[in-house]
Amino acid sequence: MWECHVVPDKNLTDQFDVGIVLGGGMITFDKENNRLSFRDNVDRIMQAVRLYKSGKIQKILISGGSGSLLYRDMKESELLKDYFVEIGIPSYDMIIETTSDNTYENAKYTSEILLNEYPESSYLLITSAIHMRRAKACFNKFDIELSTYPTNKLVGKRRYQFSYMFVPDVNSLGRWNIFLHEFFGYLVYKVMGYA
């Protein structure tokens, strides 16, 4: 019930000037093997690339700084931009925001870029379905009008199968952890005036 509903591509009737992808655990650099390592939330960036390739979005804005206290120079958005330029997406269609460490800062610093460089454009926010509610609320605080494209859906339709209903699934505990993080994060952002 917390996840925002996924938007089928056929319902994306508009073409958007900028697709905004929020960072957060998508990628890191594996120094031992000298390569990028993709993580759990990679669906959002892959969906953005697909939307770009199909002409639904004209530019991809990746918002995400380090997010780490220890590795401040490892900027997720820079790593992703370099990777996508390497595989053929033109750098002039990639925009990066490298300062943010959390969702509120994603919205704050991305809004500054959008209002200064793309003021009369249309925007599509691309992040996980469970995170979309908090992310959209933060962008609303900065008066950014945007459409949403939820990804990384964790929960599907209820299935009435014996194994689904009665056999315990250890992954359910992880999903509860993600939900509680988002739910209490949303409440804290409301109290702090971030959303």
pLDDT at site 29 = 75
DSSP-based three-state secondary structure for 160: coil
Residue 129 · residue 62 · CB < 8 Å: no
> Average pLDDT for residues 65-80, to the nearest whole number?
71
Instruction: Quote the CA–CA distance of 65 and 52 in Å, as a whole number.
Output: 22
Task: Calculate the alpha carbon distances from 56 to 52, 72, 86, 167, 175 in Å.
Answer: 6, 33, 22, 41, 31
Mean pLDDT value across the chain: 86
Q: Does 30 or 113 have the greater pLDDT score? A: 113
Pairing, β 123-128 against β 35-38: unpaired
Query: Terminus-to-terminus CA distance in the chain, angstroms?
Result: 19
| H-helix or E-strand spanning residue 142 | none
- Enumerate the β-bridge partners of residue 30: 35
- pLDDT tens track for 144-159: 999 999 998 877 676 6
Residue 170 or 72, more confident: 170
Lowest mean pLDDT among 13-17, 30-34, 102-106, 111-115: 30-34
Domains of the chain, each with CATH number or no CATH: 9-192 (3.40.50.620)
Res 71: pLDDT: 59
Percent of the chain topping pLDDT 90: 44
pLDDT at 69: 52
pLDDT, tens digit, for every residue of 82-119? 889 998 999 999 999 998 889 999 999 999 999 999 99
User: Which has the minimum average pLDDT: 71-75, 82-86, 136-140?
Assistant: 71-75
Instruction: Give the contacts of 179 (CB within 8 A, at least 6 positions apart).
Output: 2, 130
